[in-house]
A and B are shown apart, each in its own frame.
Chain A
């Protein structure tokens, strides 16, 4: 399916009153993110920023593709939603499948799924930090864009870049070892895992963890050492009060695979807790916007029928998870978390801290993985439960590197899907990404002349969320669309509206 023509951004995205705005800056494409997007900045007559929009311009429609397929195929199908974090979709889909079957999967399978998700978090965060964002952080946001990439980083900081690639490779190796392949892995299934882990694999992963943990620790030292030089970015890269959503557990520990939904506010107070993922609709609503193929989920209790969804804006992902949890539950990461909270002044509200949070999560993931691998039952033979269709509706949720991921399935008696809804982390960060772009633009732009370094800051503000647009742009039939036939002289000949 091809990508439809771009929506008429200026007339549909910024509101009626903005159609008269004379000046507009467009960043297209946004670089070093996964997917295709553009940013529109509208200036008023005096050259001041009046509005901004982050537009996702690709369209995919995966939810519709899945209807009519058997639930057993869903992990493989939905993993194709994204080649970047397929494990996240595999896990959420397999968990929904577990619930359709009505089974409690073997404990060993739970441990293996947790390990593979930790591997996924490590590899994804490593790529985000070392490949995509470190060039900005280490070479400078105003540095030459021709070298402001991993190759420039390699020239300036070869050892750091090398270790970043090694870290990513380690995480990918964990996935491949347990799930069968790095990308679109076949080994995670409804009911558990396809194959037990061998002792050889276990020993190899334990060995690799030593270097992985050291890399995370060294990267944290590096990042905190330069954090003071980014004071203005910390203040203006999405630094605003919002809600934060993540999985949680009874012990208050950092959670990435199971548990219940917890939402905290800008002061860290709990606004929703103990919500089963299956009941996500009790707290999460989804809105479409005219100027993007990305859905905009929001915290439902804060948004009335006539309110803007931005009133229910919340963030997910590393920043949110560290705000939701009480502690990491492993020593080195807990020490790092304490310093992080001290630097943030409690709840971290700047999206610039996503980078910092990612490094702490990498560190915590290596420690958690070491704990799992030290458990002799991790190589046990019972890794899968078998059953038919025992439930007609289920929700699977897990923490993807970018945030909480939901797969909701309705099936018939034969397990054939009759309805599918997926809520992707990047979608949940859509509203805060828009606010971030606006905040950065207002901080740095005060006239029609916009240096490249400022444009890069706007992109970097988006990049802090590490958005993955490929898997988050699949709402079909929800997007309000305006299709206009416009004559060369500007006259609108006909217009069709939906939504």
Chain B
């Protein structure tokens, strides 16, 4: 069985910005076989260790630049173009994971459209709908459907 790591990240005090974490909690509640879930405020370097143990990784984050939920394959970043401090980004984490041992055969980003980043816990209707789509897409990936 493929080991799948779902990483939802964002600020859950900033309305739509917490959408990735809402997805993470929804996936965790489903207790899907082979799925491991991380819900974090930000991506931190040690996540690379968990990525080395996964066959598939899905990074789920809110995105103010996208209009609809989108899942895209992502590759490790190119050496020399990445930096890292206390937090990082998916491409850099994949590169670090590759350096640590192996990167996952497949990695995706799931971008959830966000419009309201004000203080609050509630998702705007469009973001809430996109969360459902992301959950369905991740269920598909977990169940072995080929990704986009």
Interface residues of chain A, those whose CB is within 8 Å of chain B, are 31-34, 80, 83-84, 127, 131-132, 146-147, 149-151, 154-155, 158, 161-162, 165-166, 168-169, 172, 182-184
Contact = CB atoms under 8 A, between A and B. Distances in A.
A416 B95 CA distance: 47
22 contacts: A31-B83, A32-B85, A34-B85, A34-B86, A83-B41, A127-B45, A127-B86, A131-B85, A149-B83, A150-B84, A151-B79, A154-B96, A154-B99, A155-B99, A158-B99, A165-B96, A165-B100, A169-B49, A172-B44, A172-B46, A182-B44, A183-B41
Given A146-B80, A155-B79, A183-B41, 5 more contacts: A149-B83, A150-B45, A155-B99, A169-B49, A184-B41
Q: Is the interface of B mostly helix, strand, loop or mixed?
A: loop
A244 B96 CA distance: 38
Nearest to B119: A65
A146 B92 CA distance: 14
B48 interface: yes
Contacts of A151: 79-80, 82, 84, 92, 95-96, 99
A158 B101 CA distance: 10
Contacts of A34: 85-86
Contacts of B41: 83, 183-184
B104 to A, nearest CB: 17
A183 B85 contact: no
Nearest to A169: B46
Contacts of A184: 41
Contacts of A33: 85
Nearest to A147: B80
Contacts of B95: 151
A150 B86 contact: no
Interface in B13-40: 13, 40
Given A80-B13, A151-B95, A165 B46 contact: yes
Contacts of B82: 149, 151
Interface in B55-95: 79-87, 92, 95
A183 B46 CA distance: 13
Contact of B48 (A146, A165, A182): A165
B42 interface: yes
Interface residues of B, number: 23
Contacts of A149: 82-84
B79 A168 contact: no
A416 to B, nearest CB: 19
A32 B13 CA distance: 26
Contacts of A169: 46, 49
Contacts of A131: 45, 84-85
A150 B67 CA distance: 35
Contacts of B99: 151, 154-155, 158, 161
A83 B85 CA distance: 12
Contacts, number: 65
B49 A165 contact: yes
Contacts of B48: 165
Nearest to A170: B46
Contacts of A155: 79, 99
A132 B99 CA distance: 17
A107 B121 CA distance: 36
B42 A165 contact: no
A368 to B, nearest CB: 22
Nearest to B42: A83
A161 B49 CA distance: 12
B45 A165 contact: yes
A147 B95 CA distance: 13
Contacts of B100: 154, 162, 165
Interface in B102-139: none
B121 to A, nearest CB: 13
A127 B85 CA distance: 8
Contacts of B84: 131, 149-151
B41 to A, nearest CB: 5
A79 to B, nearest CB: 10
Contacts of A182: 40, 44
In order of increasing CB-CB distance, the 9 nearest A-B pairs are A169-B46, A154-B99, A146-B80, A183-B41, A34-B86, A84-B86, A168-B46, A83-B41, A150-B84
Nearest to A173: B46
Contacts of B80: 146-147, 151
A67 to B, nearest CB: 16
Contacts of B44: 172, 182-183
A174 to B, nearest CB: 12
Given A149-B84, A151-B79, A166 B42 contact: no
A169 B45 CA distance: 9
A168 B45 contact: yes
Nearest to A468: B86
A162 B42 CA distance: 21
Contacts of B85: 31-34, 131-132
A464 B107 CA distance: 35
A126 to B, nearest CB: 9
A426 to B, nearest CB: 13
Contacts of A80: 13
A146 B81 CA distance: 7
Nearest to A161: B99
A101 to B, nearest CB: 26
A183 B42 contact: yes
B15 to A, nearest CB: 15
